Amino acid sequence: MTYNPNNEHIEIPLSTSIVSCYPNPFNPYTKIIYNLERNSDVMISIYNIKGQKIYSYSSKSMNQGENQFLWNGKDNNGNHMPSGIYLIKISTSDIVLTQKVTLLK
Domain count, the chain: 1
Residue 19 maps to which CATH number?
2.60.40.4070
Residue 5 maps to a domain: no
Residue 95 maps to a domain: yes
Residue 68 maps to a domain: yes
Residue 54 maps to a domain: yes
Residue 16 maps to a domain: yes
Residue 4 maps to a domain: no
Q: pLDDT, tens digit, for every residue of 13-50?
A: 567 888 899 999 999 999 999 999 999 999 999 999 99
d(CA 48, CA 17): 21
Contact between 67 and 60 under an 8 Å Cβ cutoff? The reply is: no
H helix and E strand count, the chain:
0, 9
CB atoms within 10 A of CB 82: 9
pLDDT of residue 18: 85
| Pick from 40, 89, 46, 99: nearest CA to 65 | 40
pLDDT of residue 1: 42
pLDDT at 99 over 70: yes
pLDDT at 3 over 90: no
| Pick from 67, 82, 57: nearest CA to 34 | 67
Residue 27 maps to a domain: yes
- Residue 101's pLDDT band, with cuts at 50, 70 and 90, is very high
pTM of the model: 0.83
Domain that holds residue 71: 10-103
pLDDT of residue 80: 97
Residue 3 maps to a domain: no
